[in-house]
Amino acid sequence: MFKTQGFLSDQVSDLTDEINRQYPGLWSLSCEVNEFANQLQYSLSIHTGVPSELMGAPLYLRVLTNYQALLLLCKRGMLDQAYVTLRVLVEALFYLAAISREREFAVQYVKHEEHQRLSVLSKLRRYKESQDATDPEIEAAANKIKEIENTIIEENIKKFSYENVAHRAGLHNWYDTVYAHTSSYVHTSARSLESYVVLKEGSNEMRELKNEPVIDRIHLPLSAGIDAMLLAVSSVCSIFGMDEPPAVIGFRGKCQSLVSSHG
């Protein structure tokens, strides 16, 4: 069945029993954290006109849904794809945590979109010029680009990187570790292809290709995802003026204990 449907096969629809066998307690914890984090979203009461709440709530949901996607990928043994999702999760966490530390950053975050719009329109204009230099949409795009450039200058809208946001979030250590490590899974480097190849013993010669569920090392993105989700809970509670739930400390301690026991 796997040879015809790959990871969509019913054979790999649920590998939680195997995860539980290799990493006792970790899968159960990940599900507990999910249930807790999922219920928390219904406690958020957003006040119109408060940018930190208007941005913080959807950012929290983005972290949450990516965390749930991470669990779905882990239970199918899709290790590389789990790392890709973890990277996206952490990016949203950086913004959420930054807003929790600097409420005014929410407004900067919204305005920063002008830089993204500028990039997209510049690429669109370049594409139109390559297809038909007389296309009237080229001039329209050029005018819009000029308008956005003026807005950026007039409002002094700074362009920031993920590293800068991570620093403002107090999570630069995550940028240097988890974020950096997952980069090789997001971008198709030569090294990122190693997981699909089996070498002959004692040599660099390829023996066969490998494309199958992986449970070994699945605890790494799983535990990192748990930690990230708990940081998101703490951040959103701060934004909404809520006390951090005592359960967060318990979950965090249990996760650290389980990770230590798995080496």
Task: Give 99-165 as a DSSP string.
Answer: HHH-TTHHHHHHHTHHHHHHHHHHHHHHHHHHH-TT-HHHHHHHHHHHHHHHHHHHTT-----HHHH
**Total domain count for the chain?**
2
Are 136 and 173 within one domain?
no
- Is 234 in the same domain as 192? yes
pLDDT (0 to 100) of residue 198 = 83
7 located within any domain: no
- Give the per-residue pLDDT at 176: 96
pTM listed for this prediction: 0.92
Do both 28 and 59 map to the same domain?
A: yes
139, 118: one domain: yes
Same domain, 131 and 196: no
Q: Which residue range is the domain that position 142 belongs to?
A: 113-159
- Could you give the percent of the chain with pLDDT greater than 70? 98
How does residue 263 score in pLDDT terms, banded at 50, 70 and 90? low
Task: Say if 80 falls within a structural domain.
Answer: yes
Q: Is residue 10 part of a domain?
A: no
- The predicted pLDDT at position 12 comes to 67
| Mean per-residue pLDDT over the chain, rounded | 92
**Which region among 17-21, 105-109, 111-115, 206-210 has the lowest average model confidence (pLDDT)?**
206-210
Are residues 81 and 31 part of one domain?
Answer: yes
Residue 213: inside a domain: yes
In total, the chain counts a number of residues equal to: 263
Is residue 90 located within the same domain as residue 175? Answer: yes
